[in-house]
Amino acid sequence: MIARGTEAAPPSPFTPEQQRRFDEGFDWAVGKYPPERRKSALLAVLHLAQDQLGWLSEPAMAYVGARLEIAPVRVREVATFYTMYRLKPVGRHQIGVCNSVSCWAMGSERILHHCEERLGIKTGHTTKDGQFSLEEVACLAACGGAPAVLVNNFTYFENVTPDSMNRLILELAERPGQEMAKAPEPRPTLPIIEKQSFPQATGPEAKTTAAEAGTTEPK
């Protein structure tokens, strides 16, 4: 058993350049609080990690927790509570359509459906080429320019129409966009056992038993 406090620090999920930007933002976020309150920077630091990777992987959350001396499970509790954190890979261009009352009244629902048809995906999904993801987002504080759209967390587009959305998608398609962190490889699955007499182990010690004949002795 590993004694508490002696676990190895999780490796960084960032490239050297991403690490440099993360460290700069980390120092700024933590510096806003007294030393004994540095854990209060968790929300901001999670945003920093997401900005670099595109989403929050398990290694990224564990790394953030280690930097702030917060247990990984506590970090994940926060990340899963707030909808602005993404817990699965997204496209290089993340399109968020505002669903606030003002935007809805000015036609944001129509814009969202138009994006689904134009991109060939449903809200919450990513195109097969990994170029675009589509989501509904909470109020973007752009009621005066409703309906509003947010692209890649930082760029606002206001007074959006289906035609202007078409032009935006075409423009974004010509840009490389941000490379997102890859998802982990799926766990290997065991082969399906079609008959009880088939061996259930996969190593050299696997043996077939005559279960169908009413015995568990090896054949």
Which domain covers residue 165, as residue numbers? 93-173
CATH of the domain at 57: 1.10.10
Is residue 25 included in any domain, yes or no? yes
Residue 180: pLDDT band by 50, 70, 90 thresholds? low
End position of a domain, from candidates 173, 191, 212:
173
User: Do residues 115 and 166 share a domain?
Assistant: yes
User: Do residues 67 and 117 share a domain?
Assistant: no
Burial 7-35 (b: 16+ CB within 10 A, else e): eeebebbbeeebeeebeebbeebbeeeee
Query: How many CB atoms lie under 10 A from the CB of residue 214?
Result: 6
CA 86 vs CA 66, 134, 190, 198: distances in Å = 20, 12, 30, 42
In this model, does residue 24 exceed pLDDT 80?
Answer: yes
Is residue 202 included in any domain, yes or no? no
User: Do residues 52 and 101 share a domain?
Assistant: no
Q: What angle do CA 108, 112, 115 make, to 5 degrees?
A: 135
User: Do residues 127 and 77 share a domain?
Assistant: no
The region of weakest confidence among 9-18, 45-54, 127-136, 183-192 is 183-192
Say what the pLDDT of residue 182 is: 62
Q: Environment class of residue 54 by beta-carbon count within 10 Å: exposed (0-12), middle (13-18) or buried (19+)? A: buried
In this model, does residue 15 exceed pLDDT 60?
Answer: yes
Say what the pLDDT of residue 104 is: 94
Rounded to whole angstroms, the Cα distance separating 121 from 183 reads 20
The conformation of residue 126, written as its DSSP 8-state character, comes to B
Say what the pLDDT of residue 217 is: 53
CATH of the domain at 114: 3.40.30.10
Residue 88: pLDDT band by 50, 70, 90 thresholds? confident
Average pLDDT, the chain: 83
Rounded to whole angstroms, the Cα distance separating 65 from 142 reads 33
User: Do residues 27 and 72 share a domain?
Assistant: yes
Say what the pLDDT of residue 153 is: 81
Is residue 6 included in any domain, yes or no? no
Phi, psi of 98 (to 5 degrees): -65, 135
Q: Enter the tokens of residue 10.
A: 């999780």
Is residue 71 included in any domain, yes or no? yes
Is residue 88 included in any domain, yes or no? no
User: Do residues 55 and 102 share a domain?
Assistant: no
- Is the pLDDT higher at 2 or at 155? 155
